[in-house]
Every structure is written in C-alpha cells, then in structure tokens.
Amino acid sequence: MLSYLRHGSHAVWVVYPEQRAVRTFDRNGHSRLLKETDVLDCPELLPGFQLPVARIFEET
C-alpha cells in the first residue's frame, strides 16, 4: 500500500470484508478506519463522491 503512495497515488482504500470496514490512506500519512455506519469520501480527488461503507458489502 505504501508503495502505491510512494509512486504517485493520492489515496489508497483497503477493503476488509471480514470486518466490513475500509481503511483509507492518503499521501500525507493519514489513515482512517471506516466502519459500516461511516461514509467513504475523498473530496480532494472526487468532489461530491460519497459512498456509505455498508453499500460495499451489500449482497447482489
């Protein structure tokens, strides 16, 4: 994951299906752990994008 950031990625999102969580990392070294009740966003890269974490784990 750090390799992506070192090589120019602005953000990395890692999905943990068993925990039903997402951890975000940014190029400034900050990370956030988002649970099902949280909303995934990245306003500096995707203005207006908001995705409830619970939607990632919905069955289709």
> Please, what is the Cα angle at 2 between 46 and 25, to 5 degrees?
40
pLDDT digits (tens, 9 = 90+) for 1-60: 789 999 999 999 999 999 999 999 999 989 999 999 999 999 989 999 999 999 999 986
Separation of alpha carbons 31 and 25, rounded Å? 4
Tell me what pLDDT residue 47 has. Answer: 96
Tell me what pLDDT residue 1 has. Answer: 75
Separation of alpha carbons 52 and 46, rounded Å? 15
Tell me what pLDDT residue 60 has. Answer: 61
Tell me what pLDDT residue 2 has. Answer: 82
Domain boundaries, the chain: 2-56
